[in-house]
Amino acid sequence: MFFQIIFILIVIKGIFAQNCQLNATFMDKKWIYATKPTANTWDVLHTDYIEDRKRLYLICNAMTNVRRIYCNRGIWQEETHDLTCPRRLKANVVKIENENSCSQLNGELYQVRYTLPDGNIISLYEVCYSTQNEQSLYSRHKAYGFNLAASTYVRPMFSRSNNVVSRERELSFKAENIYNTFVRLLGSKQTYVPNEKTLILDRGHLTNSQDFLTYDQMDETFKYVNVIPQFRGGNRSNWKRIENWVHNLPTKNTYAQVVTGSFGILSLPHSESNTLVPMYLMPNAKNPIPLWLYKVVKYKNQCYIFATLNNEFNTNSSISPPFCNSTACPMHLEFNPAPNSGVSYCCDYNSTAAKIGSHATLCNSVSRLTKFFDNIFG
Domain boundaries, the chain: 18-78, 133-377
> What integer pLDDT is reported at residue 63 of this predicted model?
80
Residue 34 phi, psi dihedral angles, 5° rounding: -135, 160
- Could you list the residues known to form a binding site for Mg(2+), using ranges: 235
Q: Which of 46, 141, 205, 359 is catalytic?
A: 205
Class of domain 133-377: alpha beta
Whether 205 is catalytic is: yes
Are 85 and 216 in contact by the 8 Å Cβ rule? The answer is no
> What integer pLDDT is reported at residue 9 of this predicted model?
38
Euclidean distance between CA atoms 146 and 76, whole angstroms? 19
Better pLDDT: 15 or 279: 279
Which residue type is seen at 120?
A: N
Question: Residue 323 burial (CB < 10 Å; 0-12/13-18/19+)?
Answer: buried
Query: Is residue 177 pLDDT above 90, yes or no?
Result: yes
- Digit-coded pLDDT (tens) for 326-355: 999 999 999 999 989 999 999 999 999 999
Residue 243 phi, psi dihedral angles, 5° rounding: -60, -45
CA dihedral (186, 188, 192, 198) positive or negative: positive
- The helix or strand, by DSSP H or E, that contains position 181, with its residue range, turns out to be helix 175-186
83: left (phi over 0), alpha (psi -120 to 50) or beta: beta
Query: Is residue 6 pLDDT above 80, yes or no?
Result: no
**% residues pLDDT > 90 (the chain):** 79
- The helix or strand, by DSSP H or E, that contains position 52, with its residue range, turns out to be none
> What integer pLDDT is reported at residue 365 of this predicted model?
64
> What integer pLDDT is reported at residue 148 of this predicted model?
79
- Could you list the residues known to form a binding site, using ranges: 235
Query: What letter does residue 103 receive in the DSSP assignment?
Result: H
> What integer pLDDT is reported at residue 13 of this predicted model?
45
| Mean pLDDT (whole number) for 88-100 | 95
For the chain, the straight-line distance linking the first and the last C-alpha, in angstroms and rounded, comes to 38
Are 226 and 260 in contact by the 8 Å Cβ rule? The answer is no
> What integer pLDDT is reported at residue 376 of this predicted model?
37
